[in-house]
Structure 1
């Protein structure tokens, strides 16, 4: 499958209350339906998706750098609630109302926090990192991952120090060694690899400790997000060959969110965000609240 990787058409930063900067990048018409993107682990705002379909769908895709990644200021000790507050402020400053949102991979729990806080009007979780510290997954994780999860729960500061040692190359190697062939066919495309590596380099520009390490401790620990209180439509997407993001491919996650709809995509892996962009966005648009 050949993918169109398109650079953002608009890019900038927004100053949040308190003075922190939030980096953003946009694709699609400026008057389109706002859809925020919480990107995957250690990637910057520059790695969007669906650049070839957003105009036709009337989507204004806005990819966001989480604190300490890319162009966004660090926010030491931040929580999921802090992130949701920042996105609420960003949406107000940009006049977005209650935008729609997509959370990919490690960006999923941050997006779920926004849904739980009522910041967004509907959510698509795509290849989402699950709450692997939940007791139901205690026997489902390989040994080294289990050790890291236990550390993130018991001693978050020590876990942050471990994750702070990672580099863009480490992340790339992890993705390439842990992905099924259907995903590698996407990631190895020269244009996609160049865009992915650029996003990794940008995300680590302030050092792993500033952003990625905190993200990972939050995502690997107990979330504390009130998933049963989510009152907006949620679609959960996994490729049937993706076993790395959720031990049960989101079945338990969907069961914890009232009304959530789970989609298991045949012959797909963790790259669903890019291989099925139009399907994800079209479904999300149907969930938008009536204006």
Structure 2
């Protein structure tokens, strides 16, 4: 695993990232990883071993306003693909895949919209967030309040949801001496060190119009997989099911007995395998 790295973007902002799996080389299979909400590139640590075994370099990016990545006023979901391309160009990486986890899901779909398919070879979304208009039935009340309140206020109150998560997620947090929980807490703490402004704006983005419709996405068969758990109360499975129907050629893999965190824990190897196959094809 590499130490945290920083590049200066064309507009002068700093963008933080770190590399997991293999070391950086322009010709190695590459996946750009988008963390959850709130979070930082440290989440990529959870995929280091699987990526190493498959010979994949996984480059995790911290979004603007979190951790050491400069806050970007009035950014949109479609602003982020330009940051991804800037980093890819900086590292001389021409072709790659992307993976978005939870709150990183909308940004993975934004990349499908904004990045030419000649460069973006595949996309995976794990327990991803989808437009609220797809329906929030089954979503925990704290999350629904967060996205709607953030649309008209400039502050964000972080809610402790650990007491209400499904048993399957709590069990996943405790496995391997609490490894996932430690990484998530570390990532979340660093994300909010600059203050709540970045998180507040991101919650606003999730609850607003995204700037593109899911039906507009052009996806080749086998190039987009949506994974979701049937016991997910952060983002209910129904949202992913509707999204899969709207996006042409999207493949939905529903794991009925998994939750939000447990899905990520149980599908690490399969997710890396899927991304590796996309890159080979």
TM-score with structure 2 setting the length: 0.87
> Which residue of 255, 262, 267 corresponds with 1:265?
255
The residue aligned with 2:121 is: 121
Shift of 1:140: 6.5
Question: What's the counterpart of residue 224 of structure 1?
Answer: 211
Counterpart in the other structure of 2:35: 39
| 1:79 and 2:66 matched | no
Task: Determine whether 1:109 maps to 2:96.
Answer: no
Distance 1:71 1:146 in 2: 28
| 1:285 equivalenced with 2:276 (yes/no) | yes
**Separation in structure 2 between the aligned mates of residue 104 and residue 264 of structure 1, nearest angstrom:** 15
Measured against aligned partners, the alpha-carbon deviations of 1:215-251 in whole angstroms (never above 9, x if no partner) come to: 1111122212232332342100012221321350511
Q: Does 1:15 align with 2:8?
A: yes
Question: What is the CA-CA distance between 1:81 and the residue it aligns to?
Answer: 1.5
**Does 1:238 pair with 2:225?**
no
Find the aligned partners of 1:106 and 1:268 in 2 and give their Cα distance.
Answer: 18
Match of 2:195 in 1: 207
Q: Which moved more, 1:281-290 or 1:113-122?
A: 281-290
Q: How many residues align?
A: 268
**How far has the Cα of 1:203 moved from its partner?**
0.3
Structure 2 distance, partners of 1:185, 1:143, is 22
Post-superposition CA distance 1:59-97 (Å, at most 9, x none): 111111000111111101101121121112121111121
Cα distance, 1:219–1:178 mapped onto 2, change above 3 Å: farther
Q: Structure 2 CA distance, aligned partners of 1:140 and 1:241?
A: 9
Which residue does 1:90 correspond to in 2?
A: 87
Query: Structure 2 unaligned runs (5+)?
Result: none
On the 8 A contact 1:9/1:28 being kept in 2, the answer is no
Offset at residue 54 of structure 1 (A): 1.0
Aligned to 2:131: 131
Deviates more, 1:75-84 or 1:217-226: 217-226
* Superposition deviation, residue 287 in structure 1: 2.2
**TM-score, normalised with respect to structure 1:** 0.84
Distance 1:138 1:280, change over 3 A: closer
- Structure 1 regions of 5+ residues with no counterpart? 1-7
* Distance in 2, Cα, partners of 1:258 & 1:111: 16
Q: How does 1:56-205 map to 2 (within 5 A)?
A: 56-118=53-115, 120-132=120-132, 134=133, 136-137=134-135, 149-152=147-150, 156=151, 158-159=152-153, 161-163=154-156, 165-166=157-158, 170=159, 173-174=160-161, 176-188=162-174, 189-205=177-193
Aligned-pair distance for 1:150?
4.5
Q: CA RMSD of the aligned region, Å? A: 2.2
